[in-house]
Every structure is written in C-alpha cells, then in structure tokens.
Structure 1
C-alpha cells in the first residue's frame, strides 16, 4: 500500500473540489477556474484509482496462492 501516492491523489481531489466550489459560490469567477478545477479533480481521481487497482492486484495474487 503506497500511502504517499494516495495522499498525493487525495490532495489533487481536494484541490479540484475547492476550485469547483469556489467557482460556483463566487459571482464573478472566470470559466477557466472551473475548467482547471475539473481537470485537477479528474487527474486526482484517475491517479487514485490506479493506486487502488495496484493494491487490489496484490490482494488477488494472495487469494490465488491459497
């Protein structure tokens, strides 16, 4: 289990969510803030799912040995 990668991914998810919420709450926000928020959020989700898949492959290999 790689906790550094999970922390890195979680920070990207949190940053993307904050940017999107800020874009919805503030009245005169630039559209690019919302676009960057979506990109950062999607990158964080993508990288976190890659970490989860790598962790589950190790679990499946242990189950196959039994």
Structure 2
C-alpha cells in the first residue's frame, strides 16, 4: 500500500515537473528529462505489479 502511494506520487510530481518545464519561455531540457524520468519510473513500478495475462494462461496449462 505504501509503495503504491510512492508510485502515484512519482507519477504526479513527474507530470507536474514535465508540464512546468514546457510552460516556461526558456525551456529547460534537464528539468523536462527529470520530470519524464520520474513519470516513467512511477509507471514502470506500477506496471511491474500487474500480473501478465500470459502467466495466467501458463498456470492453467500446467494444472491440467
């Protein structure tokens, strides 16, 4: 549960930082990359916890 909160926080902060970096007249590439990296890291951590559909199919085959 605590990990999910961290993941959603990373996604939210990463999105805000990326949008902020794009909103300035002088776009900061480093801040934009940092925001996108935080966003993608949060999405990766959430996606990692979702079981694969193929794994579920393989379990069914092994049980027969």
Query: Could you say which residue in structure 1 is the equivalent of 2:8?
Result: 10
Post-superposition CA distance 1:3-27 (Å, at most 9, x none): 1111010000001101111011111
Structure 1 position 31 matched with structure 2 position 29:
yes
Paired position in structure 1 for 2:19: 21
Structure 2: gaps (5+ residues): none
Aligned structure 1 segments of 4 or more residues deviating by more than 3 angstroms: none
Q: Which residue of structure 2 aligns with residue 40 of structure 1? A: 38
Q: Distance in 2 between matches of 1:51 and 1:38?
A: 20
CA RMSD of aligned residues (A): 1.9
How far apart, CA to CA, are the structure 2 residues paired with 1:13 and 1:25? Answer: 18
Q: Normalising by structure 2, what TM-score?
A: 0.72
**Following TM superposition, by how much is the alpha carbon of 1:51 offset from its aligned partner in structure 2, in angstroms?**
2.7
**Structure 1 length-normalised TM:** 0.70
Higher-Rg member (1/2): 2
Q: Structure 1: which 5+ runs fail to align?
A: none
